[in-house]
Amino acid sequence: MARKAYTYDQLTNLISEDYAWRRKELKLINDQVSDKPSPIQSAALRFSVPILYAHWEGFVKKSTEIYLEYVAKKYLKHNELKPQFIALSLSKKLGNLEIKNLEEKAKTVEFLINELDKNSNILTTNVIQTKSNLKYHIFKEILFIIGINESKFSGYESLINDLVDARNNIAHGDFLRVDFNTYQIMFTEIQEVMASLKTEIENSALSEEYKLKKASA
């Protein structure tokens, strides 16, 4: 049975464990890539790209799912939460509403007002979707779902998209010559993004960023 993150320590332990084994495996793979040009180096670079992508996608999905579960298990009232978490909590009920005229719009508003003081039941199953093609715009959507500021990652947009494109070309059987220096930069910077995501999630949990900030009087 998968362990759940009910406390901050459980959250950080689960994410750290997932991060650690991925870092270890990536280093083992990278150590197999010689810095001397050869057919073996070329093949090693090609098989390293899909593995790097797999750990990128895997860590994003795993870490953000852990955080979403962590927030959900607090069962906070809707009026304490940021809008995206309220939407996840009420998504099934909202999906059943038909809004065609002003009367129905008014009923929807009334429904939302009545729900604000109730405890949340945030949906967590199949919410985080990488679509097996984790380009930056999809990563951005995931960050919005869990309430993390995307601007801190915007400088990595080209890097992330380049990794996905390279992985797709190789996975689809196309011949792609991978430059050693380019791969080493990608290898280093993708892990920087993973480390930054880990830090942002942990900081968001610690500072309760999932909560709606009350306007000061």
pLDDT in tens, 28-72: 999 999 999 999 999 999 999 999 999 999 999 999 999 999 999
Q: Looking at the structure, do residues 27 and 99 belong to the same domain, yes or no?
A: no
Which range of residues forms the domain containing residue 95?
A: 78-118
Would you state the pLDDT for residue 172? 77
Reported as a pLDDT band with limits 50, 70 and 90, residue 106 is confident
Q: Looking at the structure, do residues 125 and 182 belong to the same domain, yes or no?
A: yes
Which amino acid is it at 164? Answer: V
Q: Looking at the structure, do residues 16 and 93 belong to the same domain, yes or no?
A: no
Q: Looking at the structure, do residues 58 and 113 belong to the same domain, yes or no?
A: no
3-state helix, strand, coil in the chain (%, to 5): 65, 0, 30
Q: Looking at the structure, do residues 33 and 131 belong to the same domain, yes or no?
A: yes
Q: What's the sign of the alpha-carbon dihedral 59, 61, 64, 69?
A: negative
Are the beta carbons of 149 and 140 closer than 8 angstroms?
Answer: no
DSSP 131: T
Residue 1 lies in a domain: no
Q: Looking at the structure, do residues 113 and 134 belong to the same domain, yes or no?
A: no
For the residues 145-173, what does the mean pLDDT come to? 93
